[in-house]
Amino acid sequence: MAQAQNSISKIPVGILGATGMVGQQYISLLNDHPWFEVRFAAASPRSAGKKYSEAVAGRWQLTKTYAPHVGGIMVEDANDVSRAAEAFKKGECSFVFSALEMSKDETKALEEKYAAAGIPVISNASAHRWTPDVPVLIAEVNPGHTDIIPMQKKARGWDRGFIAVKPNCSIQSYMKPVHALAQAGYPAQRIVVVTMQAVSGAGYPGVPSLDVIDNVVPYIGSGEEEKSENEPLKIFGSIENGVFKNAEFPKIAAHCNRVPVTDGHSACITLEFADKKPSLDEIKAIWAAYKGLPQEADLPMAPRQPIIYREEENRPQPRKDRDTDKAMAVTVGRLRPSNVFDIRFFALSHNTVRGAAGGGILNAELLKYKGYLG
């Protein structure tokens, strides 16, 4: 565990949507963060004006509780950007993590208001994922996409604020394994992916228990399959003329299912290589050696080894493996040849940590490391 610095010297951060499930996860994960400290919290008008401890009374979902000083923070109305701007001026909020749970249009507009007010927004919401000049970051995969930030600022006329987002939690388990292979000269041409997703992905109250006890639901809702198919193309894409141009491959067909698991999204991947076909041993070696900028820069939230391969024939499993390396590592197993296409494997990622708040914090660390957070 990293040594806590003097609290004075930490960067003050705010959480938008602080009382929701992802907001709680942010607050819990930032309890002992060496760089960042939660000093500002905003949520719906219903929570505004209450102390954080009151706003989440009876709704706190996690085993690990919030830090005492967070319990005393007065929750602001997230719609009132002036409150954050004021906090920014007083040095109480250097940037915000957005875990807003509004409609797409409302979220989009509100996040832009924060950015326009000079406050960088690192968002979990899906609203801006297809905005052409907003980067969708997986810190190990496309750290270079932060290069668009100066162009975004300039085009929008924003001074210090900007928007950066993370992709959908459903793709986290296979993006790094696929990226590792592409980087080693083995890009994928086509992928069939079937996910088995945890109920925490739907927030709280989220999925009714009558839908998952002794059951599977073959549908997640809200364009989950489309996101799983399209977001990778932006992440593998390039910047041209100040906007992102999607990659053309891999073509992905996704089936997204809900299973009776609390945390941890699993995926069964069937993959066709575009060209050369590595041996299974080569693939394992590539995954074992895979490192990204977060590992090289030793960012606090980075997993030491981003992809962990399990040799047991019945692993990974969500309950037993989701928490590997602070729940930030992707765990992979069952690599084998395939009758259809080239290879098959199984992959697992913790959806509310790596796939949500933990991934967002890692993105913030990346942005701080690159100098975008002041």
State the nearest-atom distance from the C-beta of 226 to its own copies, in Å: 10
Residue window 228-267: x/- pattern of binding to its own copies, with contact defined by CB under 8 A:
-x---------------------xxx-x-x-xxxx---x-
The smaller minimum CB distance to its own copies, of residues 183 and 209, is found at 209
d(CA 63, CA 71): 15
Q: Which stretch binds its own copies (CB under 8 A): 55-63, 71-79, 139-147, 167-175?
A: 55-63
Catalytic residue among 33, 93, 169, 179: 169
Rounded Cα–Cα distance for residues 73 and 100 (Å):
18
Q: How far is the CB of 94 from its own copies (least distance, A)?
A: 29
Tell me which residues in 270-329 interact with its own copies (CB under 8 A).
270, 312-324
Name the residue with tokens 């004075």.
8
Site for its own copies in 58-77 (CB under 8 A): 58, 61-63
200 near its own copies, rule: CB under 8 A: yes
192 part of the interface to its own copies, by CB under 8 A = yes
Under 8 Å between Cβ of 64 and 28: yes
354 binds its own copies (CB under 8 A): no
Write down the least CB distance from residue 121 to its own copies, Å: 27
Binding of its own copies by 338 (CB under 8 A): yes
Angle, nearest 10°, between helix axes 224-235 and 172-183? 30
Backbone angles phi, psi at 150, to 5 degrees: -60, -40
Q: Of 91 and 221, which has the nearer Cβ to its own copies? A: 221
Give min distance, CB of 290 to its own copies, in A. Answer: 21
* 169 given a catalytic annotation: yes
Q: Is 119 in the site for its own copies (CB under 8 A)?
A: no
Per CB under 8 A, the segment of 98-106, 213-221, 279-287, 297-305 that binds its own copies is 213-221
Among 49, 185, 206, 223, binds its own copies (CB under 8 A): 206
Set 128, 145, 179, 265: catalytic member: 265
Residue (127 or 261) nearer to its own copies, CB: 261
Q: Does 223 bind its own copies (CB under 8 A)?
A: no
Query: Who's near 308: CB < 8 A, 6+ residues apart?
Result: 324, 325, 329, 330, 331, 332
196 is an interface residue for its own copies by CB under 8 A: yes
Q: Which of 7, 103, 183, 215 binds its own copies (CB under 8 A)?
A: 215
- Residues touching its own copies: how many (CB under 8 A)? 63
Cβ distance to its own copies smaller for residue 95 or 287? 287
Say which residues have a Cβ less than 8 Å from residue 265's Cβ, sequence separation at least 6. Answer: 169, 170, 172, 173, 195, 196, 197, 198, 201, 318, 348, 349, 351, 355
The Cα–Cα gap between 307 and 331 comes to: 6
Residue type at position 266: S
**33 is a catalytic site residue:** no
Element (H, E) at 151: helix 148-156
CB of 219 to its own copies, least distance (A): 4
Binding segment for its own copies (CB under 8 A), chosen from 179-187, 283-291, 333-341, 354-362, is: 333-341
Determine if 191 is a binding residue for its own copies (CB under 8 A). yes
Cβ atoms of 8 and 339 within 8 Å: the answer is no
Q: Using omega within 30 degrees of 0 as the cis cutoff, is the peptide bond preceding 177 cis?
A: no
| Cβ-based neighbour number of residue 336 at 10 Å | 11
Segment contacting its own copies (CB under 8 A): 37-45, 203-211, 273-281, 287-295? 203-211
What is the token pair recorded at 138?
A: 């997986």
Give per-residue burial for 314-326: e unless 16+ CB within 10 Å, then b.
ebbbbeebbebbb
All residues at 6 or more sequence positions from 105 whose CB lies less than 8 Å from its CB, including other chains: 127
The phi and psi torsions of 151 (rounded to 5 degrees) equal -65, -40
Which residues neighbour 257 within 8 Å (Cβ) at sequence distance 6 or greater?
Answer: 194, 195, 196, 197, 216, 217, 218, 219, 220
Contacting residues toward its own copies, per CB under 8 A: 1, 57-58, 61-63, 190-192, 194, 196, 199-200, 204-219, 229, 251-253, 255, 257, 259-262, 266, 268, 270, 312-324, 333-334, 338-341, 344, 346
Residues annotated as catalytic (active site), given as ranges: 169, 265
